C-alpha cells in the first residue's frame, strides 16, 4: 500500500460539491491540498470551512491556461511539489440542440474540456517528476447521451477520450491517470441546492474516499476508467 501522507494535491473547482468533498477526504488522509475557483473570496471561504492549515486557496479560471500555470507555481512555492491533480471544475447547460446558445456551448467546452487540458498541461512536468497521479472528474454523461444534453455530452465524452489517451501517453513516466464518471451526486451542479431528499445519491465524500483508495492501490494496478452510480434510484 502506498503511503500518501504529506502528498500534495491540487483540486480545481474545490469550493463546493464534489471538489470540496474530495478536499475533505484528502485532508483526513493526511495530504496537503490546494483548491481553486474563479472567485478568491469563495475559495477562501471554503478553506475556512475545511479548517486546516494544510489548505492553499487559489483563484484560477481553468479556461485560461496562464491561470493554471500560476496556480501550479503557487502550489510549488507553498508546498515544494505537486503529486496529485484532480481536474474537477465543470458546469452544465441543458437545452435542445436548436435552442442551445453559442455562449452555453462555448462555456461548457472551454471549462469542462479545454479546462481539463489546461490543468494537465500546467501540472504535467510536476506529475512526471514525482511519479504522480492525474484524475479527471467526467460523468456518466461521457458515455451515455440524452436529450437536451448535446453540449454537455460533447464536453464529457471529450473528457473521457482525452483522459484515456493521456493515460497511454503518461504511464511510460510512471504517472497514473484515471477518469471517474459519476452518476447522480449530491452537489450544487446546475444551480441545485443540496437537501435531505438527496440522501439516495452519491455523496461528494464518497468520491473523495474513492480517490484515497485509488491512491493507495499497488503501483502495478491502474483502474483507468471508473463508472460509479448510486446503489439505488430514488
C-alpha 179/C-alpha 224 separation (Å) is 6
C-beta of residue 224 within 8 angstroms of C-beta of residue 164: yes
C-beta of residue 37 within 8 angstroms of C-beta of residue 62: no
C-alpha 76/C-alpha 161 separation (Å) is 29
Other Cβ atoms within 10 Å of 87 Cβ, number = 29
Cβ-based neighbours of 134, under 8 Å, separated by 6 or more: 84, 85, 87, 120, 123, 124, 127, 163, 166, 170, 175, 176, 177, 178
* Active-site hit among 10, 133, 134, 152: 152
C-alpha 153/C-alpha 80 separation (Å) is 37
Residue 81 phi, psi (nearest 5): -170, 175
Other Cβ atoms within 10 Å of 150 Cβ, number = 18
Active site residue 10: no
What are the catalytic residues?
A: 152
Amino acid at each position: 500500500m502506498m503511503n500518501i501522507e504529506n502528498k500534495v494535491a491540487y483540486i480545481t473547482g474545490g469550493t463546493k460539491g464534489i471538489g470540496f468533498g474530495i478536499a475533505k477526504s484528502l485532508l483526513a488522509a493526511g495530504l496537503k491540498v490546494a483548491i481553486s475557483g474563479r472567485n478568491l473570496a469563495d475559495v477562501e471561504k471554503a478553506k475556512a470551512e475545511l479548517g486546516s492549515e494544510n489548505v492553499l486557496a487559489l483563484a484560477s479560471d481553468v479556461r485560461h491556461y496562464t491561470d493554471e500555470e500560476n496556480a501550479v507555481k503557487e502550489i510549488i512555492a507553498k508546498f515544494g511539489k505537486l503529486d496529485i491533480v484532480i481536474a474537477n471544475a465543470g458546469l452544465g447547460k441543458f437545452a435542445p440542440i436548436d435552442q442551445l446558445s453559442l455562449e452555453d456551448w462555448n462555456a461548457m467546452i472551454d471549462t469542462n474540456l479545454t479546462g481539463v487540458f489546461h490543468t494537465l498541461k500546467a501540472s504535467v512536468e510536476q506529475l512526471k517528476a514525482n511519479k504522480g497521479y492525474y484524475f479527471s472528474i467526467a460523468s456518466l454523461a461521457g458515455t451515455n447521451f440524452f436529450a437536451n444534453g448535446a453540449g454537455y455530452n460533447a464536453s464529457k465524452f471529450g473528457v473521457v477520450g482525452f483522459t484515456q489517451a493521456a493515460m497511454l501517453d503518461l504511464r511510460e513516466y510512471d504517472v497514473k491517470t484515471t477518469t471517474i464518471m459519476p452518476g447522480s451526486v449530491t452537489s450544487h451542479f446546475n444551480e441545485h441546492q443540496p437537501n435531505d431528499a438527496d440522501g439516495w445519491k452519491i455523496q461528494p465524500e464518497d468520491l473523495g474516499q474513492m480517490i484515497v483508495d485509488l491512491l493507495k492501490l499497488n503501483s502495478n494496478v491502474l483502474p483507468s476508467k471508473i463508472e460509479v452510480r448510486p446503489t439505488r434510484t430514488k
